[in-house]
Structure 1
Amino acid sequence: MGDADLLEVLAEEGEKVNKHIDYSFQMSESLSSRETSFLINEETMFQKNQQSKDSIFFRDGIRQIDFVLSYVDDIKKDAELKAERRKEFEKNLRKTGLELEIEDKRDSEDGRTYFVKIHAPWEVLVTYAEVLGIKMPIKESDIPRPKHTPISYVLGPVRLPLSVKYPRPEYFTAQFSRHRQELFLIEDQATFFPSSSRNRIVYYILSRCPFGIEDGKKRFGIERLLNSNTYSSAYPLHDGQYWKPSEPPNPTNERYTLHQNWARFSYFYKEQPLDLIKNYYGEKIGIYFVFLGFYTEMLFFAAVVGLACFIYGLLSMEHNTSSTEICDPEIGGQMIMCPLCDQVCDYWRLNSTCLASKFSHLFDNESTVFFAIFMGIWVTLFLEFWKQRQARLEYEWDLVDFEEEQQQLQLRPEFEAMCKHRKLNAVTKEMEPYMPLYTRIPWYCLSGATVTLWMSLVVTSMVAVIVYRLSVFATFASFMESDASLKQVKSFLTPQITTSLTGSCLNFIVILILNFFYEKISAWITKMEIPRTYQEYESSLTLKMFLFQFVNFYSSCFYVAFFKGKFVGYPGKYTYLFNEWRSEECDPGGCLIELTTQLTIIMTGKQIFGNIKEAIYPLALNWWRRRKARTNSEKLYSRWEQDHDLESFGPLGLFYEYLETVTQFGFVTLFVASFPLAPLLALINNIVEIRVDAWKLTTQYRRTVASKAHSIGVWQDILYGMAVLSVATNAFIVAFTSDIIPRLVYYYAYSTNATQPMTGYVNNSLSVFLIADFPNHTAPSEKRDFITCRYRDYRYPPDDENKYFHNMQFWHVLAAKMTFIIVMEHVVFLVKFLLAWMIPDVPKDVVERIKREKLMTIKILHDFELNKLKENLGINSNEFAKHVMIEENKAQLAKSTI
């Protein structure tokens, strides 16, 4: 298709979007009057005691309820205005062809809520299905589903029944056209459009239906009415109860099927019914669960390797030379270490950190380098295979021709309401709302300032936690070291570990508090920017929230990994924070164990808190709402009332699910060299997360409005950015936070023991300081008989002419660290680029299937047009043959294009 043809198609679609309201408003008034009289007559025919509480139909038992609005009588001063808005809105809804049925508050459980039930008849559905470009089946597909590989039979227990996994046959589809209805497989008009498509169409009408003119501006859209409390809620109905199947005449209860095969925790090992999720909740929610499931599957391989590295560290812990020397009373017990704080801290023996050094070896051993490189390759494979999975999904879910640009034609009602200017759209050639840049600049400035301020607050809170650790360190040291520090003890709760644990817990609490407030502020700021489309709104909010989450959750880990203990100085010339607190030092075994502690507390705490909140919060709210509503037990607790008492998932519900998953992805990739068990913890969490999300969607939340999406959107770009950054962070962690590089340098360059090369490493890694050189304000208050003490660094001894300057080994170790970073990054990036080049974005079999489907669709449309043309031309065979030749030439041209 050429550019001119493309522009023509886009212009036609734009014209449909702009004119469909006018088209609907021109429908005859006789329809509204006929419907009104029907409803009046129906009141007398309806018998309340014969209606099932699970019915999803109007009172006639024929017309299905596609959407429900609810409102409560308002006794405030704007009650008349709200009533007038509702009256005008409902009148305009009837003009569009929708059918309404109102339930009086006297029939509701709480005795105060009105319910407006909405049904979309066939004419409305076919009109808007064409406007929205909904694809519908035209012929059952002759392309077989992918065959099971031999390994698939091993995975038999995790498979779902085929009737659940594939609830509907595969079809060749085409965009629906009301002028070609006989082309589509319409067996029953009542069931041809699935309920997800029906509620999507109705919501599209609701979001653009006007309700009056106020202050000289045209007001429209259900969202504005919800924001002003004119209506209290708007939602599509669930199919039925989640704990039992529906009874006739209700259609098949897909909610029950989802609960039985997806939302139960006993099915944690089963695959997800992805097609059923898509059919019930729409493609946007469906693709989230596809991504979460695929990410969890890939985490399994990383978890196995990480667990193997942890087991290696566990098995080799007792035979680690460094820990053995530290714990040996004749080696570590004889090394007097310099005080860790000024005046109040005393000298201490190195063997007091015996257990801490052994624990550190669990995560700081030879396998650390291997695992860091492995995760750099794993994240590449994950993203490349996800692109393939996404391409396969686009084919299976009829999203191949779906473009985000179609969504951009659908402006946010808030944007249209706020715009005072009009501008010619270069694509549709129609005048559309336009907001000049100068009107947005103040809000952009406020938005940028707000994000900067809150990111600064995060950094400030991190500094405050550091000050806390420095302040209480002396207190811990005085209690824990005053009597035992010079004895040959083996304690795990050293002052460093104790302050690290309490500081990490305090930091986690501060993170949750800041995150709670920032979520509210960022949503408000994004609304004030008045984004043009929903896609722009989500992209803007995503950027703000991710930047804040990145700084909020990772800043403390970055500090421990790359700053703590790196700029300490040496005894007699320490560096000070704010000229008051001495900079924090690492344990003699390095800072890796503290990074592991920080990562474990924040990652585990966030996941546990998140799952508890997701499960308990809607459960408690729903219980309280039902308790308040069930005041008239003799009333029929109808299907729409049951759903009304459920929690709303909200337009940003899926956004927070993605944000949580991407934040976890950062923990798994950015700092995984320090904690090989991170993928295992993430795997366990995600197995639970999938079932928690499924349970709350099917049981605790109202049904969401179905919407389309062909990818995970801007989150994919964020994942790519974090994948690249993770290579650098893990390389720096191994080089500067881990102790592996200094050990290798000692092993190959400075060891003098040929049989046991690592013997003497601890002594070699500690420098000597003359106690007499302590300044008076830093020396311990209690005098000792020691002449020297030891500290972790590579410096000349006090009897050398280069006293306390870095020695040559320091420069050798630094050169080795920089070399390792360069080599590791180049190797991993080379492998990443090779894998990205070797693995195609779209699998070959998917490309062939797409070509086959396009060819068959063109052929079906071609045959349909020829038959229609033959009917119109009658017996004029010559003219018919001429038209046949033209159409066949077009088909051949289309085939060659494919």
Structure 2
Amino acid sequence: MSDLKSLLSSLAHFPSTVRRLLTSGIVIQVFPLHDNEALKKLEDSWYTRFTLKYQPLDRIRGYFGETIALYFGFLEYFTVALIPMAVIGLPYYLFVWEDYDKYVIFASFNLIWSTVILEVWKRGCANMTYRWGTLVMKRQFEEPRPGFHGVLGINPITGREEPLYPSYKRQLRIYLVSLPFVCLCLYFCLYVMMIYFDMEAWALSLHESSGSEWTSVLLYVPSIIYAIVIEIMNRLYRYAAEFLTSWENHRLESAYQNHLILKVLVFNFLNCFASLFYIAFVLRDMKLLRQSLATLLITSQILNQIMESLLPYWLQKKHHVQVKRKVQALKADIDATVYEQVVLEKEMGTYLGTFDDYLELFLQFGYVSLFSCVYPLAAAFAVLNNFTEVNSDALKMCRVLKRPFSEPSANIGVWQLAFETMSVISVVTNCALIGMSPQVNALFPESKLDLILIVVAVEHALLALKFILAFAIPDKPQHIQMKLARLEFESLEALKQQQMKLMAQNLKEESREGNKEEEA
């Protein structure tokens, strides 16, 4: 009996015990094995057949958990939401290719589109998470993250012995080391951007001096090189940001993720979009803006497909052959199939969460919503990329990476705020592009100040309309609000009945004690 109690006690503290073992280095990695039978059924309904159909989100949730299922749900929804932009952009590209005056209409549609899709997603997300039972999930007390270290002490909340680290030391690390490093990286990416513009000027001068059609190809070379450099810098900075955020020694995983996301988003936004803002509002060269946007978008999509799925899958297949040879050579007494699976999955890559996946969609949303009015095919290329992204990400989850532990989620978290912030920036950008168009400038040939004031007024009006739409469209559909209210009412009624029973039981006990005293 004592052994059973000790076992139950150890299981109750299993997560914290594993965290301590991982932190100390005694345990290197912990992961669940893939269920081959369930995985095969999921693959058959998910990505093995290339057909245009909805993803089996309930099955994905049953196998991988709500967090990953929500990502694939958002990827599917975002792809479908891009189709109207792509349908409008294709004929717009074909018939008004050189007529930049008319991109005012496309920019105006872009403003409405970027606002509505995010508000509608909230409702769809609420429907899914209500069906899964995680909509009203509240954050429980968080255990210290595995990398957290400090002097052992007693936690005043839990009463447990755990590492303690002063908050002021963490703040000093953030403001004296992390913040200057991030600023230095931002300056470096701006310096690389100016080198890119020097390369553009060199290629243009070479083309103009030669006058050959062959040198026109050189006009795209600087943009392609710059796009590759951007991807390399983003990945290198990501490693540096992870190291800095771990070195800051955050106690909770949520705090660690928030600081990491903030660092990465700021750098990626400036690194990917600074050149486009410079071309649009300093150089005011719409032809170069169109060329740079197309090159950056297409090159980044190709590199992401290769680096995230195709290359890891090829390496995994090569390793799988080597593992089979080792298992056949060992001829151990143990189950060779299980041994082969353990050895194979041990060498698989570890899924680091949905961070990189959402980041890719965030940058794609920026390319489409900020400057697609000067390159209407951006949405079409994004749709084509996302159709293949669904299959490549599914392949990555099922065959390339270890099976992650299931994590419940009520929504996409801080990424909803990131996308909404990008949509606000898109309002400002598109209003500025509209104000710079020759069509609008022709209405104010003399007074540029009046034009600036009108553009600012329209921008504020559109931002006000955006927030009104966000308030008018409820985050939860009415039928879900009614069901949640009914659940709350039933829980209150059950609590009242329980309290009444306790009161009645107390009265009975008091009356019994009173009768005993009278008899005595």
The TM-score, its normalising length taken from structure 1, stands at: 0.52
Give CA-to-partner distance per residue, 1:603-646, whole Å, 9 cap, x none: 11111211122222221231232233222314543236325413
Distance of 1:305 and 1:640 partners within structure 2 = 54
1:348-367 maps to which residues of 2 (within 5 A)? 359-361=97-99, 364-366=100-102
Q: 2:480 aligns with which of 840, 843, 846?
A: 846
Task: Say which structure is richer in helix.
Answer: 2
Counterpart among 661, 680, 703 of residue 361 in structure 2: 661
The answer (yes or no) to whether the contact 1:278–1:286 under 8 Å persists in 2 is yes
Deviation at residue 823 of structure 1 after TM alignment:
4.9
Match of 2:258 among 539, 552, 559: 539
Task: Report the Cα distance in structure 1 between the residues aligned to 2:119 and 2:371, rounded to whole angstroms.
Answer: 21
Identify the residue that residue 132 of structure 2 maps to in structure 1: 397
Q: 1:474 to 1:299 in 2, by over 3 A?
A: closer
Equivalent residue for 2:303?
Answer: 609
What is the CA distance between 1:433 and its match in structure 2?
Answer: 4.7
Q: Which runs of 5+ in 1 are unaligned?
A: 1-26, 33-93, 99-123, 129-203, 211-219, 241-245, 247-252, 314-358, 482-490, 566-590, 750-808, 883-898
Q: What RMSD in Å do the two structures reach over aligned CA positions?
A: 3.3
Helix, strand or coil at the partner of 1:235:
coil
Say yes or no: does 1:28 pair with 2:5.
no
Question: Which residue is equivalent to 1:825?
Answer: 459
Aligned to 1:57: none
Structure 1 stretch displaced more, 502-511 or 828-837? 828-837
How far the C-alpha of 1:663 sits from its partner, in A, is 1.0
For 2:110 and 2:17, the matched residues in 1 are separated by 52
Alignment match, 2:54: 271
> Alignment length, in residue pairs?
502
Cα distance in 1 for residues equivalent to 2:312 and 2:30 = 18
Secondary structure of the residue aligned to 2:471 is: helix
Q: Which whole-Å CA distance do the structure 2 matches of 1:649 and 1:657 have between them? A: 15
Partner residue, 1:520: 239
Q: How far apart are residue 422 of structure 1 and its match?
A: 4.9
The 5 A counterparts of 1:116-195 are: 124=11, 128=12
2:228–2:300 CA contact under 8 A, matched in 1: no
Unaligned runs of 5+ in 2: 512-520
CA contact (8 A) 1:420 1:434 kept: yes
Alpha-carbon offset, residue 384 of structure 1: 1.3
Q: Distance in 2 between matches of 1:816 and 1:310?
A: 31
Q: Could you tell me how far 1:740 is from its partner in structure 2?
A: 3.3
Find the counterpart in structure 2 of residue 464 from structure 1: 195
Between the aligned partners of 1:209 and 1:684, the Cα distance in structure 2 is 46
Aligned counterpart in structure 1 of residue 371 of structure 2, from 661, 671, 690: 671
Larger-gyration structure (1/2):
1
> What is the distance in 2 between the residues matched to 1:274 and 1:302?
25
Q: How does 1:345-744 map to 2 (within 5 A)?
A: 359-361=97-99, 364-366=100-102, 368-404=103-139, 406=140, 408-415=141-148, 417-420=149-152, 422=154, 424-425=156-157, 433-444=163-174, 445-480=176-211, 500-564=219-283, 591-630=285-324, 631-633=326-328, 634-635=331-332, 636-639=335-338, 641-646=340-345, 648=348, 650=350, 652-736=352-436, 738-742=437-441, 744=442
Question: Structure 1 residues 640, 455: CA separation in 2 closer, same or farther (over 3 Å shift)?
Answer: farther
Structure 1 residue 209 and structure 2 residue 17: aligned? Answer: yes
State the secondary structure of the residue aligned to 1:360: coil
For 2:68, the equivalent position in structure 1 comes to: 285
User: What do residues 870-895 of structure 1 show as CA deviations (whole Å, max 9, x unaligned)?
Assistant: xxx9xx9x949x9xxxxxxxxxxxxx
Structure 2 residue 83 is the aligned partner of structure 1 residue 300: yes
1:262 pairs, out of 32, 39, 46, with: 46
- Deviation by residue 1:435-454 (Cα, 9 ceiling, x = unmatched): 22332244212111221111
Equivalent residue of 2:240, what SS?
A: helix
Deviations 1:703-735 (A, max 9, x none): 111112212111111111111110111122233
Looking at both structures, which has the greater relative contact order when contacts are Cα pairs under 8 Å and sequence separation is at least 6?
A: 2
**8 Å Cα contact 1:643/1:702 also seen in 2:** no
SS at match of 1:393: helix
The 1-side partners of 2:305 and 2:156 are apart by 48
Q: Is the 8 A contact 1:500 1:597 kept in 2?
A: no
Partner Cα distance (1:697, 1:480) in 2: 50
Deviation digits for residues 667-702 of structure 1 (CA, Å, limit 9, x no counterpart): 111112212221222122112111211122122222
8 Å Cα contact 1:377-1:828 kept in structure 2: no
Cα distance in 2 for partners of 1:675, 1:816 equals 28
Alignment of structure 1 residues 242-253 onto 2, 5 Å: 246=37, 253=38
Cα contact 2:327–2:340 (8 A) shared by 1 = no
Whether 2:23 is the aligned partner of 1:221: answer no
Q: Which of 17, 25, 32 does residue 236 from structure 1 map onto? A: 32
Residues 360 and 592 in structure 1, CA contact (< 8 A), matched pair in contact too:
no
| Contact 1:265/1:691 (<8 A) preserved | no
Shift of 1:530: 0.7
Deviation per CA, 1:376-395: give whole Å up to 9, x if none: 11111112112222322332
Q: How far does residue 423 in structure 1 lie from its aligned partner after superposition?
A: 5.6
Change (3 A) 1:429 1:821: farther
Matched AA of 2:273: Y
